[in-house]
Structure 1
């Protein structure tokens, strides 16, 4: 079995897949902001219990690799590394943005017509975004984008692009109406799509070094020192 974790966004989710046929055995999620540290291990334990499996049945752990919430990614990374180290099983890292694309492309009619642009809110007028084909081929590498009316203008001039994720609404407000831009609401990162891509990566033996793995933060984290009273 492969256990997948998604902690890059306010949604905390886990899923369990069979490695032989990629079938989904179960999934669970919580949409409680800042709940990852207290609920992730509970979700994992409940999922295994509800599906009739134990930690000893796991052959690998797949993790949403980022970009996304710094704290969320740290929590997910620590949990995944702890499991892999304790069980002596491999760790698979899956791009958060690529997994979101797979999630959308799977339910899109004639998916080859579009490019896919997942956007995660990075505060202010910035998002973490990338561009993919329906097969997950990278057209534009994940990057922090400052949103204005000219963002992705070249791509929108030649192709229809679907925008989704909790940062897409900000771009829709800036871009306005555009004949080649489509916006999808309610798309959040999911452990299910992380697990689906994780199964494929497992069979390709694309494993991380458990000791040295760090999530793909995309940007350095800035901290400030509180002002003295």
Structure 2
């Protein structure tokens, strides 16, 4: 029996779940404009453990969304996961944020393109087949009228980055799923369990989130 604590903080959604053998037992999450991750994350962790009627000592591993996504959100989630893993001496599992988002939809054909909003018309995206195999690596890209023109099959868009593309990418091959906006720890359950079964873990001391782009600190010019 494997209990895994899943933590997803890569976007505006602060999401935590407990999974038993790959099945979500309980999930707590909230998506707010102001990014309430710092205030909510540890509260949610305590609540899901209590509602699942388990303790930290019952956990087999902790899984965290590795990015890409919000710099601050990723730092909060990864720091919490690493601290807990170190304290209770259990493995850390890293899960691709875009794969989490792609796993929220089931389609019989075409491809799935999860998109996380970056800024302006830029998104973080990857391409997955209908069976959720990744067929194009993650990258940051600016969306224009020619984006994904090389793909002839149906394209299913999910994520908050897709919401701003509807006016630009409007041909019949583009199908939008606006009900799927943010990645959730609910979708991490099966993914983290598969990694656990393969002993696919990361080094607690040295693991860093996948930011994809450098974090820039803007300062005022000196007069």
TM-score by length of 1: 0.92
Q: Decide whether the 8 Å contact of 2:23 with 2:189 is kept in 1.
A: no
Is residue 136 of structure 1 aligned with residue 144 of structure 2?
no
Q: Which residue of 2 aligns with 1:182?
A: 175
Distance 2:55 2:213 in 1: 37
CA distance in 1, matches of 2:18, 2:116: 25
More helix by share: 1
**Consecutive unaligned residues in structure 1, runs of 5 or more:** 106-110
Residue 95 of structure 1: how far off its partner (Å): 0.5
Correspondence 1:4-83 to 2 at 5 A: 4-19=6-21, 22-32=22-32, 33-83=34-84
1:175 CA drift (Å): 1.6
Q: Is the 8 A contact 1:112 1:133 kept in 2?
A: no
| Alpha-carbon distance between aligned partners in 2 of 1:17 and 1:169, rounded to the nearest angstrom | 30
Q: Which residue of 2 aligns with 1:108?
A: none
Aligned twin of 2:195: 201
Q: Deviation at 1:138?
A: 1.4
Deviation at 1:99, TM superposition (A): 1.1
1:23 positional shift: 2.2
Runs of 5+ unmatched residues, structure 2 = none
- In structure 1, the partner of 2:4 is 2
The runs of at least 4 consecutive aligned structure 1 residues that moved more than 3 Å come to none
Once the two structures are superposed, what CA deviation does each residue of 1:43-68 show, in whole Å capped at 9, x if it has no partner?
Answer: 00011111211111111001111111
Would you say how many aligned residue pairs link Structure 1 and Structure 2?
Answer: 219
Q: Is the 8 A contact 1:102 1:134 kept in 2?
A: no
State how far apart, in whole Å, the 1-side matches of 2:90 and 2:100 are: 22
- Report SS of the residue matched to 1:112: coil
Shift of 1:25: 1.1
Partner of 2:205: 211
With the length of structure 2 as denominator, give the TM-score of the two structures.
0.95
Tell me, what secondary structure is at the counterpart of 1:173?
coil
How far did residue 217 of structure 1 move? 0.7
Residue deviations 1:150-184 (CA, integer Å, cap 9, x gap): 011101xx2101011001021112122x1211011
Answer yes or no: is the 8 Å Cα contact 2:63–2:192 preserved in 1: yes
- Is the partner of 2:112 in helix, strand or coil? strand
- Report if the CA contact (8 A) 1:96-1:194 is conserved: no
Residue equivalent to 1:153 = 149
